[in-house]
């Protein structure tokens, strides 16, 4: 028999649903804007679409699964593991998309003349595919054996229980903290974040040098070209900062759980950390809308054309083409 939902769980579910209702439409709007606007068809925005796809999946898939885990249904071990793994896949996909975006911005300012010949649509698509393949491999590692099954079976044997092996489905019940800290955090989260920090520092350094020297570039106006690159780099660095701010608290709590088993972490801190990780998926469209003019223009055009009926399709297409010039 299912346990009744407590008032605390009801509040948790309500906040999660609210995050999903902001995240899913917002990131669909990002994908829609890139699809409609020719000015948003370069490699950077393709990587942003990959990030938006992951964020849509967080709202549409991970949050419902997180709600299920919070309720704690009685399931078989691998059923619960399948519920827990999608968040690992999508987190890694977001990190690798952010890394690809950082590398792309670096190449734009390091080799502006040769950029288009180096970063071709085919190579960008291959990079996105590789990011997702690695994400699935990293996120599904617990399914391949690095999980808590043996520990739970030994615990059941010590208790002398011979009943069918059914568990209360919780994330920490099935996912190994050694995997979360040593493999997920220390290998696939922290190093990419540090690498991105170094890349953006170098991007800002290169842009400022170029602005001071006024060197020639692929643009007729170097000052305008690098000024635009600086604005976009600042916006994307903000996306990275918000991602780190949202995800590091939960990983720090995982480290405390592993290295200090006797330490009691207040449940409210854990829930706040979870809300931050899920809420990050709703932040990016807001950043794009306020910080990147091409996105803001595209969002307004989509709103006017499809929701307010203020402009007809031909007028919108003409405006979008002008925006790309």
DSSP-assigned letters across all residues of 210-277:
HHHHT---SSS-HHHHHHHHHHHHHHHHHHHHHHHHHHHHHHHHHHHHHH-TT----HHHHHHHHHHH
What band does 325 get if pLDDT is binned at 50, 70 and 90? very low
Give the containing element (helix H, strand E) for 46. Answer: helix 43-57
Query: Among 268, 269, 238, 275, which Cα is nearest to 252's?
Result: 269
Return the percentage of the chain with pLDDT > 90, whole number.
67
> Is the pLDDT confidence value at 302 over 80?
yes
Q: Where are any strands of DSSP class E within the chain?
A: 74-75, 167-168
> Is the pLDDT confidence value at 212 over 70?
yes
In this structure, of 168-177, 207-216, 303-312, 313-322, the range with the lowest mean pLDDT score is 313-322
> What pLDDT score does 224 carry?
83
| Average pLDDT along the chain | 88
What band does 1 get if pLDDT is binned at 50, 70 and 90? very low
66: helix, strand or coil: helix
CA distance 119 to 125: 10
Q: Which residues have a Cβ under 8 Å from the Cβ of 193 and sit 6 or more positions away?
A: 95, 240, 244
In this structure, of 16-20, 207-211, 228-232, 313-317, the range with the lowest mean pLDDT score is 313-317
> What pLDDT score does 156 carry?
74
> Is the pLDDT confidence value at 232 over 50?
yes
Query: Averaging pLDDT over each range in 22-26, 216-220, 226-230, which range is the top one?
Result: 22-26
Question: Angle 192-196-200 (CA atoms, 0-180°, nearest 5)?
Answer: 175
Q: For the segment 118-142, what is each residue's pLDDT rounded down to a tens digit?
A: 999 899 999 999 999 999 999 999 9
Q: What is the mean pLDDT of residues 260-281?
A: 93
Computed on alpha carbons and rounded to an integer, the radius of gyration of the chain in Å comes to 23
Residue, of 324 and 97, whose pLDDT is higher: 97
> What pLDDT score does 213 carry?
75
Where does 7-305 sit in CATH, by number?
1.20.1070.10
DSSP state of 147: B
Q: For the segment 70-98, what is each residue's pLDDT rounded down to a tens digit?
A: 888 999 999 999 999 999 999 999 999 99
Q: What is the mean pLDDT of residues 31-54?
A: 91
The b-or-e profile of 168-183 (16+ CB within 10 A means b, else e) is ebebebbbbbebbbeb
CA distance 320 to 285: 19
Query: Averaging pLDDT over each range in 144-153, 157-166, 251-260, 316-325, which range is the top one?
Result: 251-260
What band does 214 get if pLDDT is binned at 50, 70 and 90? low
> Is the pLDDT confidence value at 315 over 50?
no
> Is the pLDDT confidence value at 320 over 60?
no
Query: Among 114, 124, 112, 156, which Cα is nearest to 46's?
Result: 124
What band does 221 get if pLDDT is binned at 50, 70 and 90? low
In this structure, of 133-147, 198-212, 218-232, the range with the lowest mean pLDDT score is 218-232
> Is the pLDDT confidence value at 162 over 70?
no
Q: What is the mean pLDDT of residues 41-62?
A: 93
Return the percentage of the chain with pLDDT > 70, whole number.
89
């Amino acid at each position: 028999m299912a346990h009744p939902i407590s008032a605390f769980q009801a509040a948790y579910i309500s906040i999660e649903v609210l995050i999903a209702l902001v995240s899913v439409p917002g990131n669909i709007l990002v994908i829609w804007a890139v699809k409609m606007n020719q000015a948003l068809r370069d490699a950077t925005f393709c990587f942003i679409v990959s990030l938006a796809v992951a964020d849509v999946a967080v709202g549409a898939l991970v949050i419902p699964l997180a709600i299920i885990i919070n309720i704690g249904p009685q399931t078989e071990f691998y059923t619960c593991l399948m519920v827990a793994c999608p968040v690992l896949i999508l987190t890694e996909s977001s990190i690798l998309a952010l890394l690809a975006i950082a590398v792309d911005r670096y190449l734009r300012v390091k080799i502006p003349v040769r950029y288009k010949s180096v970063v071709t649509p085919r190579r960008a698509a291959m990079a996105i595919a590789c990011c997702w393949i690695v994400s699935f491999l990293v996120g599904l590692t617990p399914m391949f054996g690095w999980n808590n099954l043996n520990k739970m079976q030994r615990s059941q044997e010590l208790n002398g229980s011979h009943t069918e092996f059914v568990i209360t489905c919780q994330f920490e019940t099935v996912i190994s903290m050694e995997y979360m800290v040593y493999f997920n955090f220390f290998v696939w989260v922290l190093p990419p974040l540090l690498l991105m920090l170094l890349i953006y520092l170098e991007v800002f350094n290169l842009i400022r040098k170029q602005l001071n020297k006024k060197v020639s570039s692929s643009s007729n106006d170097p000052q305008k070209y690098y000024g635009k690159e600086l604005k976009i780099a600042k916006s994307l660095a903000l996306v990275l900062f918000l991602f780190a701010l949202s995800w590091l608290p939960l990983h720090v709590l995982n480290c405390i759980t592993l290295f200090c088993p006797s330490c009691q972490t207040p449940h409210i801190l854990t829930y706040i950390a979870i809300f931050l990780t899920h809420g990050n998926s709703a932040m990016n469209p807001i950043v794009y809308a306020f910080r990147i003019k091409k996105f803001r223009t595209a969002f307004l055009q989509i709103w006017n054309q499809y929701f307010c009926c203020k402009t007809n399709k031909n007028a919108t297409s003409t405006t979008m083409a002008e925006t790309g010039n």
